[in-house]
Amino acid sequence: MSSPVVFIDGDQGTTGLQIHERLRNRTDIRLFTLAAAERKDSRRRAEAINACDIAILCLPDAAAREAVGAIVNPAVRVIDASSAHRTQPDWTYGFPEMTPRQAEQIANACRVTNPGCYPTGAVGLLRPLVQAGLIPGNYPISIHAVSGYSGRGRAGVEEHEGPGAANAPSYQVYGLELAHKHTPEIQQHARLAQRPIFVPAYGAFRQGIVLTVPLALRLLAPGVDGATLHACLARHYAEVTHVRVLPLHESRALKHLDPQVLNGTNDMHLSVFHDVEHGHVLLSAVFDNLGKGASGAAVQNLNLMLTRQ
């Protein structure tokens, strides 16, 4: 039997380039991309996507919808790295560690939507705690996250690495309209009854994310404290490879969170910090926005889907 054909549509962006780099030396697949002259040819793109076994879409949302709409071959399976389908009920959410059966569902799926980078951290922290009843679904959740500038795509890389890099901002908070496109995805997959407040930012480093969620224990169920929340997360991720919940003693020893510490990996570290005296807890997630937050997650999902190819 010949190796499955994997077509990357949009391999020139930050996510697509890293996916290509992670896959280009694999011998268990036949990797296919379009020549530069063919990338904007809708007929050629439609031919390519219908001739592959698994397509990985690294495209803007509208182009991703167009690519999916061009599929007439029922055997073609898709991993969409855009945000076009992340809240669609007929697409499988590609966060393998989210639930005990999520990896199996991804392996068997025809349509998989890669999580957004910020939602990977937010859902990773909140979904187990909400599902266990430790955080009420109607809790007024607020989320703050700082990403490397590659999270802006090629525009961010050009601003910080191009001719005008000396004038690039060192830090910028954005999404001030409080309507970031990742917010509905976080609400849906974290099982929140109310829309969370999400405030993102970019720093002057290429890649990596620190995401934090503060909690007031007085708004949680009686008896729930930092140790309870930590124990729930530790149980949920005890058997998985790419998500590690730091033991409480390791978290207590930390003086800062470095967004770049897991760059180049597909790993994510979760921590629970708590102030017993004042009843405050801080949940945190650290991971690579181009690893577990994008390209690494796509390759992880591809590997799961290949087990059923």
Whether residue 1 is predicted with pLDDT greater than 80 in this model: the reply is no
pLDDT at 121 (0 to 100) = 98
Q: How confident is the model at residue 147 (pLDDT cuts 50, 70, 90)?
A: very high
Residue whose entry in the numeric block shows the structure tokens 């020549």: 35
Q: How are strands ordered across the β-sheet holding 243-245?
A: 171-173, 197-203, 142-148, 209-216, 280-287, 268-275, 243-245
In DSSP terms, which residues pair with 243 in a beta bridge?
A: 268
Q: Which two tokens stand for residue 190?
A: 């974290």
- List all residues 6 or more positions away from 92 whose beta carbon is below 8 Å from its beta carbon: 105, 106, 109, 111, 112, 113
Q: Which of 186, 180, 185, 183 is nearest to 122 (CA)?
A: 186
Residues annotated as part of the active site? 117
Task: Say whether pLDDT at 167 is over 90.
Answer: yes
Nearest partner of 129 among 272, 294, 278, judged by Cα: 272
Q: What pLDDT does 40 receive?
A: 84
Average pLDDT, the chain: 96
Mean pLDDT of 95-113: 98
pLDDT of residue 36: 85
Q: How far apart are CA 55 and CA 98, in angstroms?
A: 23
Per DSSP, the three-state class of 155 is: helix
Half-sphere exposure in the Cβ direction for 223 (13 Å, CA): 1
> Read out DSSP for 204-217?
SSSS-EEEEEEEEG
How large is the average pLDDT for residues 56-71? Answer: 96
pLDDT tens readout for residues 228-237: 999 999 999 9
User: Which domains does the chain show, CATH number per domain?
Assistant: 5-115+294-306 (3.40.50.720), 117-289 (3.30.360.10)
Q: What is the mean pLDDT of residues 35-59?
A: 93
Tell me the mean pLDDT in the region 80-96.
Answer: 97
Of 40 and 66, the one with more pLDDT: 66
pLDDT band at 11 (very low <50, low <70, confident <90, very high): confident
Question: Has residue 88 got a pLDDT over 80?
Answer: yes
Q: Tell me: the pLDDT tens digits for 170-197?
A: 999 999 999 999 999 999 999 999 999 9
pLDDT digits (tens, 9 = 90+) for 255-307: 999 999 999 999 999 999 999 999 999 999 999 999 999 999 999 999 999 99
The C-alpha atoms of residue 299 and residue 16 are separated, in whole angstroms, by 11
Assessment of whether the complete model's pTM goes beyond 0.85: yes
